[in-house]
Amino acid sequence: MKHIFVVNPNAGKGKNKAMDYVSPKIKEICGKYNLEYEIYPTTGKGDGIRFVKERAASGEEIRFYACGGDGTLYEIVNGAYGFDNVEIAVVPLGSGNDFVRYFGDKDMFLDLENQINGTVCTLDLIKCGDEIAINQCSMGMDAEVCAKQGEIKKLPLVTGEGAYGLGCLYAIATKTKNRFTLTIDDGESVTLDALFCFIGNASYYGGGYKAAPLALPDDGLLDFVVVESAKNRIELLKMLKPYKAGEHLDWKITHFKRGKKLKVHAAVPAAINVDGECQFVTDATFEIIEKGIKFLVPATSPFLKKEN
């Protein structure tokens, strides 16, 4: 098997710092285990998808390491999806790194030896149109936050977690209501005024917000969390802390259900977030792809103990 490290040189706000940090570690560990490896620095948005697809199409057994943030992982997943000869792994060098939080702390993934000795697990994915998500999708206020978060992250001294918090304040001040018609698994449709609608394959997003606290990335189901519009903005501000802690499922304004497909129709164009990639739409369908990708879990991850 070939090990290809796809590095976003600008991850973590530092031009080429990611390469400077990770390259010596890759050379050391791959040399120690006599692994055939390659380091590929991406050149811009979409380059990771293109590169992974091209290399995966060769049929060679390859493990791609997403060396960057959640955006880099998004590109690796969308390039690797559909190829049985491919495994993916994560070396978290970004500011958010939300997907890996489900499996353990960041240092667990930065330890490349821990990765090399890890276990490959088959995880579910989310399909939304032509895009694939491994972590989460959403529509409504929090997707507006996601869209704004990219701009806020560019500010000096602002972390990924801090950017989401500032984005929340912006969204609370500008838009707190979305008229959504929701249909789960082709059942009866429900129309309501929603703050947001979250579709979770794993638990975290936005720099550590536990939006889907019960989500499991390998159970063949998606977690749908819909929070209705709150009465006022002061109430919304008070909701942020318990929401981050994953304490929102028992709110009276929260609707929680598991399923395999969710259709959302918005009365007016609403923000949609697919693992951090944002746009505005009126209709979207989110579907589970069961056992859609092979993912390397580090050897010391608590997830592996649960699996056993």
Q: Which residue has 């794993």 as its token pair? A: 202
pLDDT of residue 18: 82
Query: Which residue ranges make up each domain of the chain?
Result: 2-128+292-307, 136-288
- For the chain, state the CA radius of gyration: 19
H-state helical runs in the chain: 17-32, 47-56, 70-80, 98-101, 106-110, 112-116, 141-153, 160-174, 233-244, 302-307
Nearest to 180 by CA among 75, 87, 268, 239: 268
pLDDT of residue 98: 92
pLDDT of residue 14: 58
pLDDT of residue 234: 78
pLDDT of residue 17: 77
- The answer to whether the pTM exceeds 0.95 is no
pLDDT of residue 183: 98
Q: Which CATH class is domain 136-288?
A: mainly beta
DSSP 178: E
pLDDT of residue 41: 96
235: tokens are: 């109430």
Which CATH number among 3.20.20.70, 3.40.30.10, 3.30.420.40, 3.40.50.10330 corresponds to the domain 2-128+292-307? 3.40.50.10330
Q: What is the mean pLDDT of each run of 10 residues along the chain (308 residues)?
A: 95 72 94 97 96 98 96 97 98 89 94 95 97 96 71 56 62 75 97 94 91 97 93 79 94 96 96 91 97 97 80
Number of Cβ within 10 Å of residue 246's Cβ equals 15
80 touches 293 (CB < 8 A) = yes
